[in-house]
Amino acid sequence: MTDLGWDCVRPGAPEAGSPAAQIVITAEDFAELPIEAPVAHAGPDRGWLPVNMVNVLYTEADIQELETELLGTPVRIRAVPVEFHWDLGDGNTITTTDPGKPFPSERISSEYRFEGWYDITLTTTFTGQFSVDGGEWQDIEGSIEIESDPVELFAKSLESRLVNGSTTDDEEDEDEEEPWIPERTPDTEGPIDPEAHHRRV
């Protein structure tokens, strides 16, 4: 086990018969823990979606537990994900206590009104608890926020096309091709939505 530098409260040298040193995990200690950022998922795996199409957001955020030993005493710490803040990159944001689910669920979702590249960023809020030598869990004051790696997504304006009425569905599928997606440059960045707002779901 590794001593990660958490504080110990030792009220002077204990006298005979006095209680053992008290171990306390502070908010500052909690902020220094190596908590892993949840992986953010957005839109289809192909990396683009049509403008005005539902963009499904979700993450798999589990409780994380760490173990160490302080003053010869085993200590367990756990970080509990309690809130998820999504920044869609176009000025729109969503805050929720729900991690969401993959498509076809649309529990946490959004859409883009304009074409362009966007970064979708997830920030997860964790609260903490600690247990000393198998004892009851105690709350750690405060919370921490951890930002996940952004997801790059291109919103594509698709033009409708005429369909040959004599063509079968199978033939149409064979003829379909992925639309051209431009490289990401300053000129292909998506604009800020003038009607952007924050939602809490």
Q: Which CATH number covers residue 113? A: 2.60.40.10
Whether residue 113 lies inside any domain: the answer is yes
Taking only the tens place, the pLDDT of each residue in 94-110 is 999 999 999 888 999 99
- Reported as a pLDDT band with limits 50, 70 and 90, residue 178 is confident
Whether residue 16 lies inside any domain: the answer is no
pLDDT at 79 over 50: yes
Alpha helices (runs of H) in the chain, residue ranges in sequence order = 27-31, 169-175
Which of 58, 66, 73 is closest to 10 using CA atoms? 73
Q: 2-8: which pairs have CB atoms within 8 A and are 24 or more residues apart?
A: 2/68, 3/68, 3/69, 3/70, 4/29, 4/32, 4/33, 4/34, 4/66, 4/68, 5/29, 5/32, 6/32, 6/68, 6/70, 6/75, 8/70, 8/71
Q: CA–CA distance from 3 to each of 7, 118, 127 (Å)?
A: 10, 40, 21
Greater confidence, 112 or 105? Answer: 112
pLDDT exceeding 90 applies to what percent of the chain?
60
Q: CA–CA distance from 126 to each of 29, 32, 122, 145, 150 (Å)?
A: 13, 13, 13, 6, 19
Whether residue 4 lies inside any domain: the answer is no
Query: What are the structure tokens assigned to 71, written together?
Result: 């003053």
pTM (global) more than 0.85: no
Whether residue 10 lies inside any domain: the answer is no
pLDDT at 52 over 90: yes
Query: 């001593």: which residue's tokens?
Result: 3
Whether residue 107 lies inside any domain: the answer is yes
Query: How confident is the model at residue 177, as a pLDDT?
Result: 67
Whether residue 71 lies inside any domain: the answer is no
For 51, the domain range is: 36-66+79-128+143-200
Whether residue 119 lies inside any domain: the answer is yes
Domain count across the chain: 1
Whether residue 192 lies inside any domain: the answer is yes
